[in-house]
């Protein structure tokens, strides 16, 4: 596990070479909580800072994909509000490594140019394959061990923004607007 953006081991891609970012949802874009209401509906809480990071990533011209085991309309509302291509969103995934193959075929991005951010055991097969495996500070221990980059922030609290800032900084593309 490496926590520095400048200390990536030879087995991992350099952040400057990343062309596609793939995110898990629960525990990455959210804090992992699920709010269930009496009528069975659920809500999720998303970080505005993560949203800004995603917009910076997309505005820099890079695709962003989402692979999640759960499915729900709250995520689709968030995806639409951020301008994420819905064709790159896979909900209800039973096998995130197979979903990774689907995303690769849709984008044409090679595995070594992909960063994947996940926090729990179902993410491990995908994390093991990509060029830059990343996770959040409060991830499961096995995921922390598998990651080349671990954010200082917990999931749902600006961790995605921190990861995007690290990659875009390495590319020389992370600058505040004038």
pLDDT digits (tens, 9 = 90+) for 35-72: 999 998 888 999 999 999 999 999 999 999 999 999 98
Q: What is the pTM of this model?
A: 0.93
Residues, the chain, total?
178
pLDDT digits (tens, 9 = 90+) for 112-146: 999 999 999 999 999 999 999 999 999 999 999 99
Delimit the domains of the chain by residue range.
Answer: 36-170
> CB-based contacts of 50: which residues, under 8 Å, 6+ apart?
29, 156, 158, 159, 160, 161
22: helix, strand or coil: strand
User: The domain 36-170 is classified under which CATH number: 3.40.50.1000, 2.60.120.10, 3.30.450.20, 3.30.1050.10?
Assistant: 3.40.50.1000
């Amino acid at each position: 596990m490496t926590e520095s953006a400048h200390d990536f081991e030879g087995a991992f891609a350099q952040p400057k070479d990343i062309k596609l970012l793939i995110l898990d949802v629960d525990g990455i874009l959210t804090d992992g909580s699920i709010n269930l209401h009496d009528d069975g509906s659920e809500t999720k809480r998303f970080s505005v800072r993560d949203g800004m990071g995603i917009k910076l990533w997309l505005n820099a011209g890079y695709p962003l994909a989402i692979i999640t085991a759960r499915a729900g309309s709250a995520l689709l509302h968030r995806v639409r509000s951020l301008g994420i291509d819905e064709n790159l969103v896979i909900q209800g995934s039973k096998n995130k490594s197979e979903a990774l193959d689907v995303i690769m075929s849709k984008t044409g991005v090679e595995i070594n140019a992909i960063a994947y951010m996940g926090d729990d055991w179902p993410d491990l097969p995908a994390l093991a394959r990509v060029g830059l495996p990343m996770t959040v500070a409060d991830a499961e221990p096995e995921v922390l061990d598998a990651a080349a980059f671990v954010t200082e922030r917990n999931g749902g609290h600006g961790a995605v923004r921190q990861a995007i800032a690290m990659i875009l900084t390495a590319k020389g593309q992370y600058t505040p607007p004038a």
